Amino acid sequence: MPPPPSNGGGDSTPDPLYEPLLQPSVHPPSLSKPEKICIDGILQKYCGEFGSWQLRHFVLTSLAWALEAFHTMVMIFADREPDWRCSAGSPRCEASSAASTGICSLQPGSWEWTEGSWSSTAAEWGLVCGEKYKVGLVQALFFGGCMIGAGVFGHLSDSFLGRKGSLSVVCILNAIFGCLTALSPNYWIYCLLRILTGFSTGGVGLCAFVLATEPIGPSKRGAAGMSTFYFFSCGIALLSGIAYVFRSWRALYVASSIPSLLFLVFVLPFISESPRWYLVRGKINEAMKIVRIIAKSNNRQIPDGVILALDEEVNEDHTTNGGVPHKGEEKDGVDDKEAVSGSLIDVVRSPTTRIRLILTVAINFLCSIVYYGISLNVVNLDTNLYLNVLLNAVAEMPAFTITALLLDRFGRKPLAIGTQWFSGLFCLIGALVPLHGVWKVVRMVCGVLGIFGMAGTYNLLFIYTAELFPTVVRNAALGCAAQAAQMGAILAPLVVVTGGWWPFAVFAISAIWGGLLAFYLPETLNRPLYDTMAGMEGGEGRLVTV
């Protein structure tokens, strides 16, 4: 084709009549740049923060808390010291029982267990009098196993196993170890199996909490997170009924372990993995599938140009790649990326998370002493054991409701301080009042109000700790806090056995001290839930400069 003619003179400019209607572009056309958004942003903007999908997922996942209550509190009934009576034809027992303080002053064979030796481990293996310390020992060993398991499964759920995978593993182990415990031939095998059960139980609540709350939007996460503990209290209340039906300690262990198998078969298949875990592991397409399902179930839709990204990527300049999508973005807008990981070493290295970890570990340790200590101290009341445990569980529920209602109004930090000091005040009163007469009722009321306040704190600490750390290390940090709580649980029975005014005094000091430490934690109300260490440090840095 010949070139267009010039318009004369020495000018080589083409004649306008020959110019094309559409001028060719100097640069090739660029595709529209996708909108990068973090999970909190996509939940708030497109999916909905707490719709039908999140509600179903939350309820199904939180049922695991009842399983933890079964395996933890079963020791109250299995290791109890049952009632006894004088054997027929033992006049020496009948003559001395009225003045006796217990069976320790009676001759062997002059008395017998009312419900038979099969009713508890203490009755079957003679864990009374000089051997009574073994009851406390096996309980301490159980919590020691929980402490180890919380750390192990906290790391595994952050790494290759994921939240759902870790929850599946602990349910399998709980069912196996729980049923094997019922076959214990002697005390030491019983101790070993309780350690193993504690190891798996330590990861149940931890994995269930994170898995249940991570798909929920930031403004609803606090109230939802605190509601998980209703399932724990309901588990304790239900356990008291199970224990009333199965009076043999061996049958009770089987009955309290079967629900773990039922959860594994009938509930877990309907629970999804956390989209946040998928995101930090580089499985972005899997994360997008879940958030699209969430949006669809809430009658919403995510635009095609929206892609999930880590918060540190969202904070970066969007023009880094020139607005051109990566190869392979045709489906969900982004390729899968290399997994982002973190560990406790990263938490300790960062000044921001290091001080938070130290404070949360100390507060969880102190609160656990108070919570488990007051709970075990209630068992010492001279009342029906089954009714006592039921009332103890029911007393915690109003605390959960009140703290959940006030959580988004006053914030996490003021409630953490106030509930601990509320508990500490009544524990202090309980330590100062006399131990006889009508004052026993006052001490009982102080104990109820003390557990009321500390139940609210214990409930709050899980959601507070989870919001203080980014996704890549969240379960590892929660694992450390859970380990500290288990250390407090190990010490709680040792405090209770001292008797007198001393337990209430220790509980009061622990609660007041925990409230003072909470002053140094930052508020997390309506703050983003960060994905990575860099994203959190960048976000916190901007808040400080503002």
Write down the pLDDT at residue 25.
Answer: 47
Stretch 41-53: mean pLDDT: 89
Q: For residue 34, is pLDDT > 90?
A: no
**Quick one: average pLDDT of 150-155?**
84
In a domain, 128, yes or no: yes
Total structural domains in the chain? Answer: 2
Lowest mean pLDDT among 32-41, 95-104, 229-238: 95-104
pLDDT at 513 over 90: yes
Q: Is position 262 within any domain? A: yes
Q: How confident is the model at residue 420 (pLDDT cuts 50, 70, 90)?
A: very high
- Given this model, what pLDDT does residue 216 score? 92
> 418 and 291: one domain?
no
Domain of 447, in residue numbers: 342-545
Do 350 and 313 share a structural domain?
Answer: no
Per-residue pLDDT of 312-368, as tens digits, reads 676 664 445 444 444 444 444 455 555 555 666 777 777 778 888 899 999 999 999
Strand locations in 142-193, DSSP E?
A: none
Residue 421 lies in a domain: yes
Q: What is the mean pLDDT of residues 395-422?
A: 87
Among candidate residues 233, 354, 338, 357, the one with its CA nearest the CA of residue 281: 338
Residues 348, 296: one domain? no
Please indicate, yes or no, whether residues 290 and 254 belong to a single structural domain of this protein: yes
Mark whether 312 and 353 lie in a shared domain: no
pTM of the entire structure? 0.77
The answer as to whether 119 is a domain residue is: yes
Lowest-pLDDT range of 90-99, 113-122, 395-404: 90-99
Residue 542 has pLDDT above 70, yes or no: no
Give the mean model confidence (pLDDT) for residues 135-163.
86
* 224 and 362 within one domain: no
Decide if 415 contacts 518 (C-beta within 8 A). Answer: no
Boundary (domain end) residue, out of 276, 301, 317: 317
Could you tell me if residue 30 is inside a domain?
A: no
Compute CA 45 distance to the chain's CA centroid, rounded to the nearest angstrom.
Answer: 27
187/227 same-domain check: yes
Q: How far apart are CA 528 and CA 516, in angstroms?
A: 25
Tokens of residue 372, six digits: 């488990």
The DSSP-derived string for 205-252 is HHHHHHHHHTTS-HHHHHHHHHHHHHHHHHHHHHHHHHHHH--SHHHH
Q: Tell me how far apart the alpha carbons of residues 244 and 253 are, in angstroms, rounded to a whole number.
A: 13
Residue 533 falls within a domain, yes or no?
Answer: yes
Residue 308 backbone phi and psi in degrees, to 5: -80, 145
| Among 449, 446, 464, 454, residue whose Cα is nearest residue 371 | 454
317, 334, 369 - which closes a domain:
317
Whether 468 and 411 share a structural domain: yes
How many other CB atoms are found less than 10 A from the CB of residue 387? 11
Which residue is listed with tokens 């056309």? Answer: 29
Q: Do 358 and 213 share a structural domain?
A: no
More confident residue, 20 or 220: 220
Separation of alpha carbons 382 and 113, rounded Å: 18
**CATH code: domain of residue 250:** 1.20.1250.20
pLDDT band of 229, cuts 50, 70, 90: confident
Query: Which pLDDT score, from 0 to 100, does residue 540 have?
Result: 64
Of the listed ranges 310-319, 392-401, 512-521, the one predicted with least confidence: 310-319
Residue 12 is assigned to a structural domain of this protein:
no
Residue 336 Ramachandran class (φ > 0 left, ψ -120 to 50 alpha, else beta): beta
Say if residue 306 is in the same domain as residue 419.
no
Residue 508 has pLDDT above 60, yes or no: yes
Amino acid residing at 394: V
- DSSP for 249-281 reads HHHHHHHHHHHHHHHHHHTGGG-PPPHHHHHHT
User: Which of 20-34, 81-95, 149-163, 463-477 is the most confident on average?
Assistant: 149-163
Is 336 a domain residue? no
Give the mean pLDDT of the chain. Answer: 81
pLDDT, tens digit (0-9, with 9 covering 90-100), for 493-504: 778 777 678 888
What amino acid is encoded at 52 in this protein? S
Q: Based on the domain organization, do 271 and 313 belong to the same domain? A: yes
Q: Is the domain of 284 the same as that of 404?
A: no
- pLDDT digits over 177-221, tens only? 999 999 999 999 999 999 999 999 988 988 998 899 989 988 888
Residue 11 has a pLDDT of 52
